[in-house]
Structures are given as structure tokens and as C-alpha cells.
Amino acid sequence: MQLLHDVWVNWFEGEENGYNVPYFHEWRRQDKIELLDQIPLLYIEESLYHYIENDMQDIPKSLLDNIYRQSYMRRGMERKVIDYACVVTDGNDIIAFDTIGYQIPIRKSRLIPRQERNIYDMIKSLKVKRFPIVQHKKEYHLLSMSPDLVIGLTRRERQLKQLLMMALDQLRTTAHLDELRYWLTEWDPKQYSKIRFMNEAEVWNQLYQGVQLGWSKAHEDLCQKLIKGHPFLEKLWEVEDVQQTSRRNQKIRE
């Protein structure tokens, strides 16, 4: 088994989709980056790689058995063993995961570019390891967007778009017809004359279809309005707003 040493990781917990595990150029100063003393590397099939990167399903037991207690991290003078952690690659992309003792990839991280280059060099002399998985079709929905809907977006834009979808999910659950018509008019005021005669399903579909593509100032404005009065969502917005202000101040200082 190939082992990597002194690996920097930036864990993102509970992220089902790989697009929510940022690459190094989107890491932030406030992220909790850790140094692993040692972690195994596996060169695996593309189908299994995407299964791990873009889902929260059970990892094959044979793979887990291969990596059991092969990872270590240092905390002060103590060297702590990690039950199930690994860096996997399909030759095209790389991701690290840690199950924190379970059988699913609870935590995921990208690596720094130097380590990625080393891995691509290492696998030139390796054969792909095969582990059986139960194939299933990934289902995308309002709270788990298709990757096509976030292509080209920055980390902040992806986070805010996810926040918008969470707000829309609450709206769909609680709003009555007049309120839905109000929000569709906010989004697309030019359609006001038509919106007045739409039923609930038509209004909802028009709103969702309208906002799901891309990201713009209009998306951001709608999101900010929708989350008002929802403390949890407002807190998530505040986190991204603070990050944005911090980056602007950093650029000014530079």
C-alpha cells in the first residue's frame, strides 16, 4: 500500500456533493486546516471515485479493511490513529476522506497542489485497485443540486445558492398562493400580469425554474430578502458576508 506523509487537509463535514468540497485555491484563512502525519493512497476506478466524492453511501468493506488504522494525525506531542481515512484518485481527480469511525465518507478534503502533483507521479507505476460497489443512480433535488447548476460559480456563490435553495424549500413548505405570487413577482416583475392568474403549482415551477440556473445580483437580492426572519438562514448569510468583507479588506491591504 502506498502511504502519503505530511498531508494538509481542509475537512468539510457532511458534504454529499464534491462541488461543496473546495479546491485549494478556494481555501480560506478561517478554515480549520490539519496536518496528517500519514494517510494511505488508493488508485481506484472512476465509478468508485465518483461514488465516494459525490455521495454519502457505505464505502465497500474491502476498501475499509485495506485502510483500517493506517492514518495518523499529530496533536501536540500525541500521535492519534484514525480508523478509516484515505486519499483516493481515479487518475483525473483527487479527494481525501475520513469516515470518523463510520462506513460513509463523513469528512472530505481536497489537497494542496504540490501533493496532488506527487500523487499523479506516484500512480504512473500503480495498477487500479478494484472494489465492488452497488451501483445506483444519484438523485438530485432542491437541497442537493445537480453539478450542472453550479458550474463556474465561486465558493461564495455556491454557498449562497445553496442558501437560496434552503430558503425556497421553506417557502414551498409554508407559503400560500398569494405569497408565492409575491416572490415570483419580486424575481420577475415583467410577468406580473400573467402571475396573477397562475395557480400554486405554476407559480412554484416558474420560480424554481427561473432561479436554478446560474448566479447573479438578482439571485443574491432574492436570497437576502427570502431569509429575513429566519435566524438560522440569516446566520449562514452573515458568515458568507463576513468572509466577503474580510477578502475585500485583505485585497486593500495588499
Confidence grade of residue 18 (pLDDT, cut at 50, 70, 90): very high
pLDDT value, residue 247: 59
Tens digits of per-residue pLDDT, 133-154?
887 888 999 999 999 999 999 9
Q: Is the pLDDT of residue 253 over 70?
A: no
Q: What is the average per-residue pLDDT within 199-222? A: 96
Q: Is the pLDDT of residue 86 over 60?
A: yes
- Rounded distance between C-alpha atoms, residue 213 and residue 147, angstroms: 11
Greater pLDDT, 78 or 159: 159
The pTM of this model reads 0.91
Strands (E), the chain: 2-10, 12-13, 33-43, 71-75, 78-82, 85-89, 94-98, 107-109
Q: Is the pLDDT of residue 246 over 80?
A: no
Q: What is the average per-residue pLDDT within 229-253? A: 77
Q: Is the pLDDT of residue 209 over 90?
A: yes
Q: What is the average per-residue pLDDT within 39-60? A: 96
Q: Is the pLDDT of residue 115 over 90?
A: yes
Environment class of 91 (CB within 10 Å of its CB; exposed 0-12, middle 13-18, buried 19+): middle
- Give 89's strand partners: 43, 94
CA distances from 70 to 1, 34, 81 (A): 10, 17, 7
pLDDT exceeding 70 applies to what percent of the chain?
96
Q: Are 94 and 5 in contact (CB under 8 A)?
A: no
